[in-house]
Structure 1
Amino acid sequence: MKVQMNCEKCRAQALKIAAATQGVTHIAIQGKEKDELMVTGDEVDLVKLTRCLRKKLHHATILTIEVIKEKKEEKKDDEKYTSPYYVCYPPYPMPPQIMVQDPCQSQACSIM
């Protein structure tokens, strides 16, 4: 909304009027000249808000009306993050160790 706000007193009064409106959850002053009032909330009656601002501040215009859609963040909250599932198998059994000995090495040489 574009509202005629020339001084800090007018800005404070506009914020007070917007805060008193039913359904308003967030209010911000924007624009280069700080003459735009951004109001967000659930089921805000902009016509009623504009009339109240016009009574007190003499000039108020609705610039844009947007419906803010909820993002898909709610789906992400429902899906809990789980780390990848790794399967650890036990190591393969080692074959039995067989000791192989050369029969010639264990006996002494008969020539000597």
Structure 2
Amino acid sequence: MKQTMVIKVYMNKHKSRSKALKVAVGFSGVESVALKGDDMSQIEVTGDGVDAVALTTSLRKKVGYAEVVSVGAAGAGAGAGEQSMDDEKIEANPEPVVWPNYHVAAPLPHYDVCVVRDYDPYSCSIL
């Protein structure tokens, strides 16, 4: 199924824009990539079976800050099949993880101390 996704990437220079486009085009399943938005800070990716999370992670590693704005079916009108990540509010209240607060102390090893009191002031200490 063809899908279209929009990813917002922080790109301040022409070099970072071309790097972001190269990363997106080199991703498996991508058919077309275009810059979008007023300040050209969004990348619109169209492809078949493209993993939006993996692509965003790759853009974060190689270019800079990136976030998924929307993912939807390709060819659909604006808003017809898109699911905006900002609009979806997941209100799941997972229970906090509680770790046990006990400490198992391992027994300390016992070392025998042997003191030698045979000191000769005229012997060489280097050897």
Q: TM-score range by the shorter chain?
A: 0.5 to 0.7
Who is 2:51 aligned against?
45
CA RMSD of aligned residues (A): 1.3
1:68 to 62, 66, 74: 74
2:34 to 28, 41, 65: 28
Specify the structure having the higher radius of gyration (Cα): 1
Who is 2:21 aligned against?
15
Which structure's residues are more often helix, by fraction? 1
Unaligned runs of 5+ in 2: 1-6, 77-127
Identity, % of aligned positions: 40
Unaligned runs of 5+ in 1: 71-112
Q: Do the aligned partners of residues 69 and 10 (structure 1) sit closer, same or farther apart at CA in structure 2, a change above 3 Å counting?
A: closer
Who is 1:54 aligned against?
60
Which structure's residues are more often strand, by fraction? 2
How many aligned residue pairs are there? 70
CA distance in structure 2 between the partners assigned to 1:50 and 1:30 by the alignment: 16
Which consecutive aligned stretches of 4+ in structure 1 deviate over 3 angstroms post-superposition?
none
Taking structure 2 as the reference length, what is the TM-score of the superposition? 0.53
Q: Tell me the alpha carbon deviations over residues 60-98 of structure 1, each in whole angstroms, 9 at most, x when there is no partner.
A: 00000001258xxxxxxxxxxxxxxxxxxxxxxxxxxxx
Taking structure 1 as the reference length, what is the TM-score of the superposition? 0.60
